[in-house]
Amino acid sequence: MILLKLRRETLRFFLQITSSFPYFFTNKARRSAKMKWNELQREEGKLLGVTYHRPPKNDDIKILDLSQTSGFGETVHPDILFIQEGFGNKGWKYLMTITPFPKGIVYFENPEFMVSHDGLNWDIPEGGSSPLIPAPDDWIGYNSDPSLLYDNGILYLIYREVRIEEHQTVINIFMLSSDNGIKWNKPERIVTKTTAPGDEGFLMSQTLLKRGDRYIMWYVDSIKSGFSIFKIEGRDIFNTALPQEIHITGMPENRQPWHIDVVEGDSGKLIMAICVKDKNNKERHAIILADSEDDGNSWQVFGESLEPGDEAFCEKSLYRASLARGEDGRWRLYYSGCDNDGNWFSAVKNISFGT
């Protein structure tokens, strides 16, 4: 373990030097530093040995066993779709994208695609890849915040690539598609943004719907006072109008949006699950719900918040949530959370609200 720590600090120093003074090193040397650092992340992740466990109380909550993924069972940021007619050659009714997150190591944060017949027991589809989006090789960063859209027999997966470069951070939103969940086309870039080095709080947690002939995408972005939610739309997702900031009524004063999911409820109403950040405790997040009757331009918070500690397995923080209707018509809330040991798991519970 001592040798591993020594190696980590040596490689960290080499990576910092080559990144801070790139003109003193060849491209080959800078590339080698990044590859060796990523190799170390892989080795350390395999030593974690996370134990999957169930919450000791509250039978309404089920921790999902996702140990088949490349993150050894620790996961974050689930997004789930229910397809009534089934999808793919096995007729899967539940589809999920999620990212591994063992001990919070962002190197493993790369989208997975999983399938289920009941929304409780999940697996990688036979012939599928894990992860679906490969981890960084000769670049530093991660692939986060995946979400799904299903339209006319085609499944779309949207994710956020964060590249940490020498003098800037580049954030790209990519989309890829499949008609069977096994073979996927090459990712295409929807939007890109360049920020200052180390500034990664932009273009976060994108969620996409198609309403009529329009694609609508909501996402969280950094503003002067913290974070806010923005909306873009267009008949072509690759050619949208300028973003507009949306308004939320009823947001608690000490909270701000962090990660989101938008789904369609009854009578054209939209429902948003919002993972909110505590302004007084950056590591603590909770989940609230809001609805909209004007195409997602303004929202009203409703119901009670779901707080860390309410659920036994995630005492430290809750994280991004996803809403999906089950085969019985009831709403399910899928969400992730962090326990006091720094382990990340995902769970599901039934919820009810008047829509």
CB 270 within 8 A of CB 292: yes
Cα torsion 292, 148, 276, 221: sign: negative
Cα–Cα distance measured from residue 97 to residue 115, given in angstroms and rounded to the nearest whole number: 9
> Which residue type, as a one-letter code, is found at position 38?
N
Angle, helix 2-20 to helix 27-46, in steps of 10 degrees: 150
Q: Residue 93's pLDDT is what? A: 97
Q: Residue 56's pLDDT is what? A: 42
Q: What is the token pair recorded at 22?
A: 């790139």
Homologous superfamily (CATH) of 48-351 is Glycosyl hydrolase domain; family 43 (2.115.10.20)
305-330 burial by CB neighbour count: b if 16+ within 10 A, else e? ebbbebbebbebbbbbbbbbbbeeee
The Cβ of residue 137 has, within 10 Å, a number of other Cβ atoms equal to 10
Query: Which residues have a Cβ under 8 Å from the Cβ of 155 and sit 6 or more positions away?
Result: 81, 87, 95, 148, 149, 177, 178, 179, 181
Q: What is the pTM (predicted TM-score) of this model?
A: 0.88
Omega within 30 of 0 (cis) for the link into 187: no
Q: What is the token pair recorded at 25?
A: 């090193």
**Averaged in consecutive runs of 10 residues, what is the pLDDT profile of the chain (355 residues)?**
62 64 74 69 63 56 84 87 95 96 86 96 92 87 96 96 90 96 95 88 94 94 92 89 93 93 91 94 92 96 88 82 92 92 89 73
Q: Is 65 exposed, middle or buried (0-12, 13-18, 19+ CB in 10 A)?
A: middle
- Cα angle 346-352-355, degrees, rounded to a multiple of 5: 120
Q: Residue 209's pLDDT is what? A: 96
Task: Please report which helix (H) or strand (E) contains residue 259, including its range.
Answer: strand 255-264
Q: Residue 37's pLDDT is what? A: 61
Query: Which residues have a Cβ under 8 Å from the Cβ of 145 and sit 6 or more positions away?
Result: 77, 99, 159, 160, 204, 205, 206, 259, 320
What are the two backbone dihedrals, phi and then psi, of residue 24, each rounded to the nearest 5 degrees? -90, 0
